[in-house]
Structure 1
Amino acid sequence: MSITKEQSTAIPRRVIGAVVATGIMSFCGVIVETAMNITFPALMSHFGIGTSSVQWMTTLYLLVVASITPLSAALKRRFRSRTLFLCANLLFLTGLIIDALAPVFPLLLLGRAIQGLGTSIALPLMFNIILQEVPTKRIGTMMGVGTLITAIGPAIGPTFGGLIATTIGWRFVFIILIPVLIISLVTGLACIPSVPVAANGEETGLEPLDVFLMVLGFAGLIFGISNASAGWLSWRFGGALILGIVALAAFTLRARHQAQPIIDVRLFKDRRFSLHVGAYILFEISALALSFILPNHLQLVDGCTSLQAGLVVLPGAAIGAVLAPLSGRLYDQLGPRIPIISGSCVALIGLLGFALTARRLTALAILILYIFFMLGIGLSFGNIMTNGLHRLSQEQQADGNAIFNTVQQFAAAIGSSLAATIVAAGQAAVADRRLGTVNGSQHALILLLIIGALEVLLVLAALHRSQKPQHA
């Protein structure tokens, strides 16, 4: 069977349908997250709540996704792909319906938490299907397609949210996605076979203590990072971080001595795999920090509306998303070095431009420089994950996939919180909010340039004398 997979180049229609079905769920999760950020003012007015309360729409979602995603490798070994898909889809549909009808804010939060459960199952499942079913010579292309599906969400989310909120109301962000999820459900049930993904899936157990420590650890870290503005000595930041670190340390010690841990942390013994994960984290931090800095700069400094701000960043985000499958094809044909290194360098050029022009950024400059940055993202981001996973054996790839998807959630929280904290500090330092936003944005963009340079160094180290990957 493995020989057939390595020699074949044709992707079965059933596999394409399965990837699309799971990808639609992942897409919906991302687009709701990015679209709802634009609707925060409307939510605050409708429910009579403040900024600290409405932020829980994002924080709670990230908490759930980051806590459950690490379980994906264990779930893959234990349950059939069709069962996982059905569970994820119905959870997400339930969350959408609750939010579309929610009369009070706590119910709105409940719906977002349930959507987070669906997303945390769907996203790793999509990549696991690609790694398991796609012919070896086409994995890079299909991983790019998977990246494209999820990258389209941030590309159109702000514009979609701004347009919906200003025309027919914020509830339609959820209502419009209900028929999309139904299409996903029908497609998935038709294309995902009812067979176990792994032969030993039913032999794998989930130790309650391990699950508790892992969820407590990841939830503590995400909660702490999301409350960075509260100060180092506050329980919401420092206390949550300490709790998360202690819980994850205990989980790691237990996992190192288990034959079949929930997530195999021993993979980090592979130096180049660890370098790929590190580069992936730094790229995600930069991308999410920019997604906070640029719309705020456009609105608070350049006087754009939320819809106009979304339209300015749309071309760059769309180009990066569309380029993902094309760069995956380059990876399949040329190996990892050209797309990953060139993409990292192009993204660094974009960050350099932002840092050098931070005090005189215009909408046009943001549009052009963001296109540069997202060109780099499109060329390299998905391929970094693909090449990192290809260093692992077939049996290890589910754990590697869980690691990449988990750290992506952490990096997202770090990027958003880091940018928000630095910009807020700049605003607090002066009376003029516009000037404070310019100062804070400049400091944040300089830091992102440093992060981008570190990412390039990690990529160069990871790919030093690297040959075209041999898929396990």
Structure 2
Amino acid sequence: MNHKRWRVVPAIIATAIMSFAGVLIETSMNVTFPTLMAEFNTTSATIQWVTTSYLLALAIVIPLSTFLVRNFSIKTLFITANLLFALGVLLDFLSPSLLVLVLGRIIQGVGTGIALPLMFDIILNYAPKSKRGLMMGIATMTTSLAPAIGPTYGGLMLSLFDWRRIFLFLLPFLVLSLFLGVDGIGYESHKRGEPFNFISFLCLAIGLSTLLLAIENLSWFLGLISLISFGFFYRFNRNKPILNLTIFKNSQFVTGLFGVLAIQATVLGLSFILPNYLQLRLHVSAALSGLFMFPGAILVAVLAPLSGIIMDRFGPYRPIVLGLMLMFIGMLLTTVYFSRASFMALLMFDVVLMMGVGFAASNLMAVALSQLTKSEQTDGNGILNTLQQFVGAMSTTIVASLFSTFQGTTGGNLGVLLLLIVLTVASVLFMFKGRQMRI
């Protein structure tokens, strides 16, 4: 590819801003759910589609990343993604109804779904291998930091202005991202011009959508449709694959992938349940419930690149296991003392958990992708990001459904926390199994 190394940094920053903005809105809207429920006169199970629709759009679009990168220039893809995201933001700022709000979120999901894999693709293909851990740490810092900062940002906007300003104030950053991307990403001349496997993509989209709906509505019929759709996807994907499923034969990649997905489910699940619990049960203001996540966000911002440097020097095992153990301790304390913990106690438990996220998340992603050959890494990046976003959507759907069913009661919240702690324990066990993974 025709590129200059000095362009890597602005290119990564440009895509990181978009990825950060997408995830920031995702979790900042969680704080607004009680307000949106009152404004649109609906339930939390319905309102959660403001977040779930975005995540579902991400999960459907990201599998196309391999096809898109092979057939279009990175600059063209980035500009398209940026303009789509800006359109979705404007639509949500002006939205007169819940339906239009969800439509805007879907358009934002399409834009972020194109941009997010580009960030990791640039790192994997252009960043020096000796700096890959650091670069992945910085990149993952943006996607790990945003879920924690989101509730703080959303709470402040809701207290000072209204929920619509959450979208409006992101527009200057999108303009900055556009300028950095145009400057940092060069045009590429050689693209394959492969035919698009539309049938395979359609089956995958139907499978992901109906699975999410089946979980939300506890519908065996929708679950059956999802299963059949995935079966057809597997059948049609073999001839002209949009996702290279053979990489799942690599057990070390699967081990790292499981850890990444478990962290995603835990962080997004907590980012939904804790701010809403604080508002509805402890009667904390929206601004304060948003600020609850801020200390953990700062720790992730500091520890993600630092843990990448540690991995570059000493290998991945130590920082990842340390991170997963801290997550386990934080989740255990939250679960055991949840019903009688004060605001400050819950805050300290969250800080411990987010320290673990800072040590483990970016390193697990770097390790998982490093188990693949150079030719497989673009496919691995697409699969990892697809599953990461879909698991995020599924986690949000499950947590929102339980929260709505039990009306935010302590018992219902404890059920969610126990589910998340099981995921954390499983991650630790999987990491011990994959101790010999290389980087």
Q: Is the 8 A contact 2:31 2:290 kept in 1?
A: no
Residue in structure 1 matched with residue 202 of structure 2 by the alignment:
212
Q: Does 1:249 align with 2:231?
A: yes
Q: How far has the Cα of 1:321 moved from its partner?
A: 3.1
Structure 1, unaligned stretches of length 5 or more?
6-10, 428-435
Q: Does 1:90 align with 2:83?
A: yes
Where in structure 2 are the equivalents of 1:151-230 lying within 5 Å?
151-196=144-189, 199=190, 201-225=191-215, 227=216, 230=217
Residue in structure 1 matched with residue 134 of structure 2 by the alignment:
141
1:180-219, Cα deviation, whole Å (9 max, x unpaired): 10110011000000115xx5x3242211211211211222
Query: SS at 2:375's partner residue?
Result: coil
Q: Does 1:366 align with 2:338?
A: no
| One-letter identity of the residue aligned with 2:61 | I
Query: SS at 2:382's partner residue?
Result: helix
| One-letter identity of the residue aligned with 2:414 | Q
Aligned-residue RMSD, C-alpha: 2.1
CA distance in 2, matches of 1:173, 1:311: 15
Residue in structure 2 matched with residue 284 of structure 1 by the alignment:
264
Query: Quick one: structure 1 residues 63 and 240, their matched pair in 2 at CA, closer, same or farther if it must change by over 3 Å?
Result: farther
Q: Is the 8 A contact 1:298 1:304 kept in 2?
A: yes
Q: How far has the Cα of 1:53 moved from its partner?
A: 4.2
Query: SS at 2:292's partner residue?
Result: helix
CA distance in 2, matches of 1:60, 1:416: 11
Match of 1:439 among 385, 390, 411: 411
1:73-109, Cα deviation, whole Å (9 max, x unpaired): 1111111100110110010111112222223333322
Q: How far has the Cα of 1:44 moved from its partner?
A: 4.1
Q: Does 1:13 align with 2:6?
A: yes
CA distance in 1, matches of 2:37, 2:280: 19
Match of 1:405 among 385, 402, 422: 385
Query: Quick one: structure 1 residues 267 and 95, their matched pair in 2 at CA, closer, same or farther if it must change by over 3 Å?
Result: same
1:363-409, Cα deviation, whole Å (9 max, x unpaired): 11111111111111110111111101001111111110011111111
CA distance in 2, matches of 1:48, 1:362: 31
| One-letter identity of the residue aligned with 2:175 | I
| One-letter identity of the residue aligned with 1:121 | I
Bigger Rg, which one: 1
Residue in structure 2 matched with residue 74 of structure 1 by the alignment:
67
Q: Is the 8 A contact 1:66 1:219 kept in 2?
A: no
Match of 1:23 among 16, 26, 40: 16
Q: How far has the Cα of 1:45 moved from its partner?
A: 4.4
| One-letter identity of the residue aligned with 1:189 | V
Residue in structure 2 matched with residue 355 of structure 1 by the alignment:
335
CA distance in 2, matches of 1:116, 1:444: 26
Q: Does 1:458 align with 2:423?
A: no
Q: How far has the Cα of 1:22 moved from its partner?
A: 0.6
Q: How far has the Cα of 1:307 moved from its partner?
A: 1.4
The farther-off stretch of 374-383 and 447-456 is 447-456
Query: Quick one: structure 1 residues 208 and 285, their matched pair in 2 at CA, closer, same or farther if it must change by over 3 Å?
Result: same
Query: SS at 2:192's partner residue?
Result: helix
Query: Quick one: structure 1 residues 422 and 45, their matched pair in 2 at CA, closer, same or farther if it must change by over 3 Å?
Result: closer
Residue in structure 2 matched with residue 8 of structure 1 by the alignment:
none
CA distance in 2, matches of 1:182, 1:156: 21
Aligned length: 438
Q: How far has the Cα of 1:52 moved from its partner?
A: 4.8
Q: Is the 8 A contact 2:52 2:397 kept in 1?
A: no
Q: Is the 8 A contact 2:44 2:400 kept in 1?
A: no
Query: Quick one: structure 1 residues 355 and 47, their matched pair in 2 at CA, closer, same or farther if it must change by over 3 Å?
Result: closer
Q: How far has the Cα of 1:72 moved from its partner?
A: 0.8
Residue in structure 2 matched with residue 433 of structure 1 by the alignment:
none
Query: Quick one: structure 1 residues 149 and 368, their matched pair in 2 at CA, closer, same or farther if it must change by over 3 Å?
Result: same
Runs of 4+ in 1 over 6 A off after TM superposition: none
Query: Quick one: structure 1 residues 292 and 100, their matched pair in 2 at CA, closer, same or farther if it must change by over 3 Å?
Result: closer
Q: Is the 8 A contact 1:340 1:379 kept in 2?
A: yes
Q: How far has the Cα of 1:299 moved from its partner?
A: 2.2
Q: Is the 8 A contact 1:424 1:437 kept in 2?
A: no
| One-letter identity of the residue aligned with 1:206 | F
| One-letter identity of the residue aligned with 1:461 | K
- Identity across the alignment (%): 38
TM-score by length of 1: 0.88
Q: How far has the Cα of 1:247 moved from its partner?
A: 1.1
Q: How far has the Cα of 1:460 moved from its partner?
A: 1.1
Residue in structure 1 matched with residue 100 of structure 2 by the alignment:
107
Q: Does 1:304 align with 2:281?
A: no
| One-letter identity of the residue aligned with 1:211 | F
Q: Does 1:324 align with 2:304?
A: yes
